[in-house]
């Protein structure tokens, strides 16, 4: 597994920048993604994938009263793009 620090170091070395700057950029990017998702917006990165909030509805029945309670639950879903999926499965290079 690779973490944010290690990934930032790799990117920083490749573009000859300070790793701390790259880490700060990662943090800012994640903060902005969270902000947009909280506002109900989908996030799409062409060739990489999409992040979206999906609202699921489920019913729960109270066995004593036989009343049904509708429970709504939000889930974060990542849908990988075909290029990422193919590369991850070694079908193609990125």
Closest CA to 85 of 50, 45, 49: 49
CATH number at residue 47: 4.10.520.10
**Residue-number span of the structural domain to which 4 is assigned:** 1-40
Average pLDDT, 10 consecutive residues per value, the chain (94 residues): 93 96 96 95 95 84 77 89 91 60
Q: Are residues 36 and 46 in the same domain?
A: no
Helix axes 19-38, 4-15, angle to 10 degrees: 120
| CB-facing half-sphere around the CA of 50: CA atoms within 13 A | 8
Q: Are residues 47 and 19 in the same domain?
A: no
* Domain final residue pick, 40, 55, 71: 40
Taking the model in full, what pTM does it have?
Answer: 0.73
Q: Are residues 28 and 61 in the same domain?
A: no
Q: Are residues 19 and 62 in the same domain?
A: no
- pLDDT, residue 93, reads 57
Q: How many domains does the chain have?
A: 2
């Amino acid at each position: 597994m690779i973490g944010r620090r290690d990934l930032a170091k790799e990117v920083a070395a490749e573009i000859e920048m300070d790793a701390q700057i790259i880490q700060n950029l990662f943090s800012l990017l994640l903060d902005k993604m969270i902000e947009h998702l909280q506002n109900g917006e989908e996030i799409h990165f062409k060739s990489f994938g999409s992040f979206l909030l999906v609202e699921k509805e489920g019913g729960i029945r109270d066995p004593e009263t036989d009343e049904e309670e509708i429970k709504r639950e939000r889930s974060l879903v990542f849908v990988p793009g075909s290029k990422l999926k193919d590369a991850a499965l070694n079908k193609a290079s990125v």
